[in-house]
Amino acid sequence: MSFLNKLFGQSNPLAALRKAVGQKRWADALAMGDVLDRTVLDSEAERELEQLLDTAGDGLAELNLSEGEGCLRGGDRARAAEHFALAAGQARSDHLIRRIDELREAMTTPVHPKGLSSAPASAAEYAPAPSTCGSDCCDSGKAVSAAPEESEDSNLDAATRLELVLSSYPADMAAACEESSEEFRKAFLLAHEGRDREAAEIFESLPEIERNYLYHFELGALRGRLGELNRACAELETSLSLNPGHTLVLETLISLEIAGGKEIEARNRLEMFLEQGGSPAFCHGGLAASSARLGRLEEALRHGSLAVAAGN
């Protein structure tokens, strides 16, 4: 708790959160609110906390909404849907929630046969989708070829765009990215704006000291989007060796293996991870999807029930 006390300040637990909101660091503010000990707050401080979190939630939702509208104007409906989904989970104000709902509803009429994702960015974003995506690990069914460059209508600086992307990342990955060099963050943003080949050039030029598990994860995801499945899987294997059992890395690797027709390899990986004490919710969920794809419906039901029981 000493670290949290230092972070938030023992005398005034809301001080750091106020500062984050004042500086429009919305994601930081929400993260602080998640770990803040509410038992030390009186009723007035509790009300202020809720107001601060409402402001931060709406602020982050506005950013995602702006990005989503820019993607929509650029014709990237899949990425627009992801931003709208993130915004829907962050918005607090009724008028903002209605605005997001209206945009999402307006997108329900497809302009092409690919479906739209209603979930935050996940491993499916990183796996290259085949021409007809039948994989449950790619449930959004969206094509993941290089996206168009960032919309010129989006007047967001690099720091804000980075915060927006990292808001959907696991905390450990977000922290690793924030602690990386300026060149790493530049490549990271380029990759998430669909400029994969430019990003790859920068990633490949980074020194060995920067090549941690996040580096190999991002490069693997990038190679996957470029359709270089063998290179992508090799990078993700390296990432896993540096951070064994990381769920997002593992999920992305499995998605790529399935996209490349390596169903058995993906299944064996899930079974081994489960034996090693990996998340039952994740492993049984993946095995349920795999069993269903292989037509083993009773087995799929058994794994699915175990996944649900474990919290999936």
**For 239-252, what is the mean pLDDT?**
89
**For 121-127, what is the mean pLDDT?**
37
Cα distance between residue 229 and residue 126, in whole Å: 11
Q: Does the residue 292 lie in any domain? A: no
Q: Does the residue 95 lie in any domain? A: yes
- pLDDT value for 108: 60
Distances (CA, A) of 99 to 108, 124, 171, 184, 240: 15, 27, 29, 35, 40
Q: In the numeric block, which tokens belong to residue 112?
A: 């092409």
**For 276-296, what is the mean pLDDT?**
86
Each as own residue / partner, the long-range contacts of residues 44-50 (CB below 8 Å, 24 or more positions apart, any chain) are 45/13, 45/14, 48/14, 49/14, 49/17
**For 60-84, what is the mean pLDDT?**
81
Cα distance between residue 232 and residue 138, in whole Å: 17
- pLDDT value for 155: 59
Q: Does the residue 31 lie in any domain? A: yes
- pLDDT value for 118: 30
Cα distance between residue 81 and residue 219, in whole Å: 24
Whether residue 67 is predicted with pLDDT greater than 80 in this model: the reply is yes
- pLDDT value for 201: 94
* Predicted structure pTM score: 0.53
- pLDDT value for 205: 95
Q: In the numeric block, which tokens belong to residue 165?
A: 């992307």
Cα distance between residue 44 and residue 180, in whole Å: 39
CB atoms within 10 A of CB 272: 11
Longest dimension (CA), the chain: 60
Q: Does the residue 26 lie in any domain? A: yes
Q: Does the residue 71 lie in any domain? A: yes
Cα distance between residue 233 and residue 69, in whole Å: 33
SS3 content of the chain, % helix, strand, coil (to 5): 70, 0, 30
Q: Does the residue 56 lie in any domain? A: yes
Q: Decide: 55 and 139 in contact? Cβ < 8 Å.
A: no
Q: Does the residue 226 lie in any domain? A: no
Higher pLDDT, 258 or 199: 199
Q: Does the residue 23 lie in any domain? A: yes
- pLDDT value for 12: 61
CB atoms within 10 A of CB 208: 6
Instruction: Calculate what percentage of the chain has a pLDDT beyond 70.
Output: 80
**For 275-298, what is the mean pLDDT?**
86
Cα distance between residue 58 and residue 8, in whole Å: 22
Residue given tokens 């079974």 in the structure block: 271
Residue 197 one-letter amino acid: R
**What angle, rounded to 10 degrees, do the helices at 171-178 and 182-192 form?**
130
Angle ∠(180,187,131) on CA atoms, nearest 5: 130
Residue 264 one-letter amino acid: I
For the chain, the domain total comes to: 1
Domain that holds residue 28: 1-109
Cβ partners under 8 Å of residue 205, min gap 6: 183
